[in-house]
A = this chain, B = another copy of it.
């Protein structure tokens, strides 16, 4: 059964998950929505509302069981799948993503790097050898990559998306500033780094 969960709630879940991991490392077994809110700078009301979306958690006046809540969020987000990423386009951004430590803390791992530039193919980035984009099918199959990450220029993004879908990835994370067409069965998330920057500009203009 598909539940309707707002995008804003989904976007807060990884923050909850990561904080619960840190809390667990401190050997705490119970945490209140007040304390979780203090650590995340989110109101306790918002936290209780978000978590209530998934059913009954926590005991009034006591708090949430840290390990149970962490497990539940992991299941909702599908983090237990330990998705494997293939990054196509090993320029500045692709290289940065290959080295981004936050992915590992949520169970994601980068297993393949691809580029069509022969000067880059064969280089190692964070211990992973860059393969030729022309060998997409073999690379995706041999590394069992689930998610294709597109960090090529906009003009090449659709053809890379087509290749990734043909090679059998189950989802696409697109950083190219272009609207991509992919089959409905392949979820697509577009990332635009200037969205956060524009939000900052908005808040600075309100001062």
Contact = CB atoms under 8 A, between A and B. Distances in A.
Interface of A: 2, 5, 7-8, 10-11, 13-15, 17-18, 39-41, 76-79, 81, 83, 91-93, 95-103, 105-106, 108, 146-147, 170-173, 177, 179, 185, 187-189, 191-207
Given A14-B192, A81-B205, 20 more contacts: A7-B8, A11-B198, A11-B199, A18-B177, A78-B204, A83-B201, A92-B99, A93-B100, A95-B96, A100-B194, A101-B177, A102-B177, A103-B193, A103-B194, A106-B194, A147-B200, A173-B200, A189-B200, A191-B193, A191-B196
Nearest to A185: B207
Number of copies: 2
Nearest to A193: B100
Contacts of A106: 194, 197-198
Contacts of A40: 179
A146 B78 contact: no
Contacts of A15: 192, 195
A95 B171 CA distance: 27
A198 B77 contact: yes
A194 B14 contact: yes
Nearest to A79: B201
Contacts of A78: 201-202, 204-205
Given A2-B206, A95-B92, A179-B41, A197 B108 contact: yes
Contacts of A146: 204
A207 B191 CA distance: 21
A156 B80 CA distance: 31
Contact of A179 (B39, B96, B199, B206): B39
A172 B199 CA distance: 11
Nearest to A184: B207
A198 to B, nearest CB: 4
